[in-house]
Amino acid sequence: MITRKFDSATQSLIDRAESIGISTGVERLSNQQPQCGFGQLGTCCRICYMGPCRIDPFGDGPTVGVCGATADTIVCRNLLREEVGGASSHVGHARHVVVAFKKMLEGKAPSYKITDKDKLLEVAKGLGIETDGRDEKEIAKDVVEKALEDLSRQDDEPMNWIKFRAPEKEIKLWKEKGLLVSNAHNEIEEAMHRTSMGNDEDPVNLLLACLRIGLVDGYAGLHMATDFHDILFGTPKVKTIEANLGVLDKDKVNIAMHGHNPVLSEKILEWAGKLTSEAEEAGAKGVNVVGVCCTGNELTMRRGVPMAAHNMQSELILLTGAVDAMVVDMQCIWPSITRIADCFQTKIITTESFVKMQGAVHVAFEPEEADKKAEEIVRLAIDAFKQRKGKDVFIPSEKSVGMIGFSVEAIIEVLKKLNADDPLMPVIDNIKNGNIYGVVGFAGCPSIKLRDTYMTEIMVKELLKNNVLVVTTGCTAHICAQAGLLNSDATEKYCGEGLKTVLKVLGEAAGLDVPLPPVWHMGSCVDNSRIATLLKALAERLDVRISQLPVAGSAPELVQEKAVSIGTWLMALGLTVHIAPHPRILGSPVATKVLTEGLEEITGGKAFVELDPVKAASGLLDHIKSKREALGI
């Protein structure tokens, strides 16, 4: 019997699972207790077969592994390998999109087209590509070449995407510190090489490699993916959407899109529309595509698709019995889902050759045959609906309304209504006068370990009360949406007077009758790039380093390796990043000291670990206060 208490929609499905004897993550986590202390501290090494070795943090047991590796070496090697996992995911994602784009340009993937020509030109110009009087396709080919260079060059030139998207002051600093990276694949290879048995022993050198992998993640992963997504599918605009599990509709064919890559989900959405009449012939009232995790964020940002579930709910949504198909591509897909789906009529459909699941239907999705495959997948969902029709389902009623689509372009468009020549000025003025005390970006996952502490919601509300504007991405955006933090009512309810005033003015400027929400949904996890673009614009407009701005980041419920590599990138950029639960570094005095203190002297950024939400918010407020004071505001 588990006595934890989650939000009502989540809890109702956990209760349902328990009543029908299906295991969920909450039960499995409980079965895993106590979790391994060596693992939590990062002091377990299984890099070679003389091990596994573990270092006793209390000094009662061995202080070095069989080969002589210390806790510092072991922890830093493990951290770097975590980051390689994260960066590989993001770079792999970006590469998939670039390859699809390239095939489109070569006429091999005619299902896709360039949707946002302005973005193409912006990216091309940023990469130093000649655009005047040139054919759009030729420009696009050059953009692809620049992307492929960042995955293949051997000349040690800094990555094109770093030169394009990173602030100049930071590029200069990274160069001085030997952090500038050139080719994502080389860096990943070198990180694996240096952490294999008998190579890098120096914990500080290993931590510097972590920063390099952070840069790989930020530029050859996040920024590159976002830029190509926008060119292919459009840059998000502000719109209103619904969120939470109540967006499922028992009378429709429900397709839950889960994973990360819009190259797949955009096509499924299109075919859901095209096959509506077939769904109706099958007795459904239509096809209801809903979003889970980051692909949900991509779909909602561009198409207003309802945000059904964050990562912790990705298995729970299946317990409704109302999902006809869950279509997945890559990353964050729990192995449990096929076993739960098996208890209902739900089909799990995998689409990538490197992401297969026992019990799932595999439809190999290649850009060359995107339409054919998307059509096939939607038909599989309609078939599953036919089997479900008439059976009982259990859909939680919870549903909230939120505003989404805060791309940098959408934000600047609103700001231009206030100052057409210098759109950032109204924000800067309001930061100076304290109406906006600071800005904090919330990113990352829902932690099954912390979700019932409402870590994210409490932190966000504390910050809003203190006039801190919040921007969000990833699964924290789902959490904020479900908590009603993405709508105008939240502005009235939770914001301090200064922030409320600003959001009212911005709401008017946007042509709305209501204030803008206090939490701006900026997209999926790769769209942390959008937050970085906004920071770069602000820092360059003020001619300061990013580390001087009254801003911070938080991954309040860290789960994935990807969140670790994103966090490291942000620290390399100069941000203070709050993290909970503890990262696996505490077993190393060097890693703990460098990441929470020493790094500040190098990049201006640091990690701040705090598990209590109120204390975490107050730590971030103190940080913002010190930055404001240093700027003399």
Q: What is the 3-state secondary structure (H, E, C) of 167-212?
A: CHHHHHHHHHCCCCCCCHHHHHHHHHHHHCCCCCCCHHHHHHHHHH
| Separation between Cα atoms, residue 302 and residue 300, nearest integer Å | 6
Stretch that binds ligand BF8, among 51-59, 420-428, 507-515, 560-568 (CB under 6 A): 560-568
Residue 133 CB neighbour total at 10 angstroms: 5
Alpha-carbon distance of 305 to 239, in angstroms, equals 10
* Residue 326 makes contact with ligand BF8 by CB under 6 A: no
For ligand BF8, the binding residues in 207-266 under the rule CB under 6 A are 260
**Crossing angle of the two packed helices 224-233 and 117-126, in degrees rounded to 10:** 150
Tokens of 73: 């070496």
528 sits near ligand BF8 (criterion: CB under 6 A): no
The interface with ligand BF8 within residues 444-483 (CB under 6 A) comprises 444-445, 474-475
Question: Which of 4, 46 has the CB closer to ligand SF4?
Answer: 46
Q: Which listed range, 51-59, 220-228, 265-273, 405-413, lies at the site for ligand SF4 (CB under 6 A)? A: 51-59
DSSP 233-267: H-----EEEEESGGG--TTSEEEEEESS-HHHHHH
Out of ligand SF4, ligand BF8, none, what residue 311 binds, judged by CB under 5 to 8 A for its kind, is ligand BF8
- Number of helices (H), then strands (E), in the chain: 27, 16
85 binds ligand SF4 (CB under 6 A): no
Q: Is 525 in the site for ligand BF8 (CB under 6 A)?
A: yes
**In the set 67, 355, 512, 586, which binds ligand SF4 (CB under 6 A)?**
67
Name which of 311 and 482 has its Cβ closer to ligand BF8.
311
Is 43 or 226 the residue whose CB approaches ligand BF8 more closely?
A: 226
Q: Which of 308, 261, 302 is nearest to 289 (CA)?
A: 308
Residue 80 touching ligand SF4 (CB under 6 A): no
Minimum gap (Å) between residue 449 Cβ and ligand BF8: 13
Cα distance between residue 411 and residue 171, in whole Å: 25
We find the least distance from the C-beta atom of residue 356 to ligand BF8, in angstroms, to be 19
Q: Which two tokens stand for residue 175?
A: 């160069």
Continuous segment of H or E residues that includes residue 497? helix 497-509
Q: Is 559 in the site for ligand BF8 (CB under 6 A)?
A: yes
Residue 576 CA to residue 475 CA, distance in Å, equals 20
Work out which of 313, 560, 576, 588 binds ligand BF8, going by CB under 6 A. 560
- CB nearer to ligand BF8: pick between 223 and 260: 260
Residue 530 interacting with ligand BF8 (CB under 6 A): no
Part in contact with ligand SF4 (CB under 6 A); list of ranges 67-75, 106-114, 407-415, 461-469: 67-75
Residue 484's binding partner, choosing from ligand BF8, ligand SF4, none, with beta-carbon cut-off 5 to 8 A by kind? Answer: none
34 vs 68, which CB is nearer to ligand SF4?
68
What does 2-14 look like in DSSP terms, one character per residue? Answer: ------HHHHHHH
Q: Which of 233, 252, 259, 244 is nearest to 378 (CA)?
A: 252
Choices 9-17, 130-138, 544-552, 559-567 (CB under 6 A): range interacting with ligand BF8: 559-567
- Which positions touch ligand BF8 (CB under 6 A)? 260, 293-294, 311, 332, 444-445, 474-475, 524-525, 559-560, 562-563
